[in-house]
Amino acid sequence: MHDTVLPFRKMNGLGNEIVVVDARGSHVVIASEEAARIASNPGSRFDQLMVLYDADPVETDARVQIFNTDGSSAEACGNGMRCVALTVFEQSGRKQQRYETASGNLEVTMTGSDSIAVDMGTPGLSSEDIPTRDPFHDTTRIELQIGPIDDPILHSPSVCSMGNPHAVFWVDDLDAFDLSRIGPLLEMHPIFLEGANITLAKVESRERTRIRTWERGAGLTKACGSAACATLVNAARTDRMDRAGTIIVPGGPLQIEWRADDHVIMTGPAELEHEGNLTFHVSGGMTIS
């Protein structure tokens, strides 16, 4: 038997650090411990790791498994899917692609040389979809706050699922909060049965909102595509925005549309930074180069 070498691509989607590993045609299955080790290497650090596995070629281009920095699994990553789509487009030239993920099949379209649209599916708007410990009839404003009960720092977020759980707090000043401190507290708040991505959102107009996000399992990030989608959906539900607009993450703008058919479409760029190899040893272990 021989060691197996898999190529990886270090990429980013508006600064969201992504590593794409193509395991199609191999027998390698990456485990959470290996994912965390890849993330700890300076040359392959990621917010999300996207691993491509073989799938039914008639149905999808690949099955995609997603890991966070800490090795935990993620159900969805919009920025990562754009990086996957660019990789497959450069290999095959296919502009229309389809992928199997833990949150369902996703359709991806190359709309330009550096513009990729991802159909993120339909949002989950019930407390069971997120899921939350307590049932909420109205998920546009749930009972959750941090800080003194009579003067909370943050309160009453809008919540939904974009394949993964999101809580959006509406604020007047994004820089008035230490998200690196309060993000971990809210991410693992007992009210969220599976944790949650925590976003601060400042609405600037009916067509434009600026956000910062603490990603579940990854921490502070320059971009979170599913959080941008959740922000647009929740802003539209609360009449803060129209059903299409620009969500500005620290890394730049994403175009989000919540279509009449209930599907959320996210459009933005992806960029290759460098390439490398992962060597999986027969006797166990892994080398990154």
- List, by residue number, the catalytic residues: 77, 224
Q: How far is CA 40 from CA 37, 43, 51, 68, 75, in A?
A: 5, 9, 17, 12, 21
Give yes or no for a contact between 201 and 238, defined as CB atoms under 8 angstroms apart: no
CA distance 240 to 218: 28
DSSP letter at 22? E
145-262 has the same fold as 4-114+270-288: yes
pLDDT tens, position by position, 160-213: 999 999 999 999 999 999 999 999 999 999 999 999 999 999 999 999 999 999
| Mean pLDDT, residues 7-36 | 94
Percent of residues, the chain, with pLDDT higher than 70: 99
Residue carrying structure tokens 């974009």: 162
Contact call for residues 150 and 144 (beta carbons, < 8 A): no
Residues 234, 158: contact at Cβ < 8 Å?
A: yes
- CATH tag, 4-114+270-288: 3.10.310.10
Q: Which two tokens stand for residue 218?
A: 């990854």
Question: What value does the mean pLDDT take over residues 13-29?
Answer: 94
Read off the DSSP letter of residue 29: -
- Which letter does DSSP use for residue 222 in this model? S
CATH 3.10.310.10 fits 145-262, yes or no: yes
Instruction: Give backbone dihedrals phi and psi of 173, rounded to 5 degrees, phi first.
Output: -145, 110
What is the C-alpha to C-alpha distance for residues 196 and 191, in angstroms, rounded to an integer? Answer: 10
Per-residue model confidence (pLDDT) at position 1? 55
Please name the residue that has the structure tokens 């149905």: 59
Its pTM stands at 0.92
> pLDDT tens digit string along 41-66?
998 999 999 999 998 777 899 999 99
- Mapped onto helix, strand or coil, the DSSP state of residue 88 is helix
Residue 198's DSSP bridge partners are: 167, 214
In the chain, what are the domain boundaries? 4-114+270-288, 145-262
